[in-house]
Amino acid sequence: MNLTISKLIIVFVVLVLTACASTSKPLVKKAPQITIYNFTSSPIFKILAVNCTDREKFRGTLYAGDLLAENIRSGEGIIINYRAQCVDITAYSKDGRVVGRQSSVSIPPSLVWHIRS
């Protein structure tokens, strides 16, 4: 009986040590991102995303949608971790003028957006 318990303990210790000695690293997936560069001469006041299914509901509404970023200085770039099935992304100046738009964007894959005037 004691011999059986001893064998079980040895098998358990070997299994634990084998599991701890594994050399494979866990797979870490990078989050999907939007990288936005402001190449205009003015700051971008807000960047908003509206789900494609909500387009009609928010049509003509200023500053509608989810806030992704705000106050991006001229020449500045930012990175936003973001995942969406289908969104329209709009960049606004401080006076409410649209300075950039991306329509029907699906993320992933990651997106790089250069906003120019």
Sheet of strand 66-72, all strands in order from the earlier edge strand to the far edge: 66-72, 44-51, 84-92, 98-107
CA distances from residue 34 to 67, 76, 92, 106 in whole angstroms, order as listed: 13, 14, 17, 11
| 84's tokens | 């969406």
Q: Is the pTM of this model over 0.75?
A: no
Is 87's pLDDT higher than 80? yes
73 in Cβ contact with 43 (< 8 Å) = yes
- pLDDT-derived band at 22, boundaries 50, 70, 90: low
Mean pLDDT of the chain: 84
80 in Cβ contact with 107 (< 8 Å) = no
Give the pLDDT score at 93: 93
Domains of the chain: 33-116 (2.60.40)
DSSP letter assigned to residue 53: G
When mean pLDDT is compared over 21-30, 55-64, 86-95, the highest value belongs to 86-95
84, 89, 91, 96 alpha-carbon torsion, rounded to 10°? -120
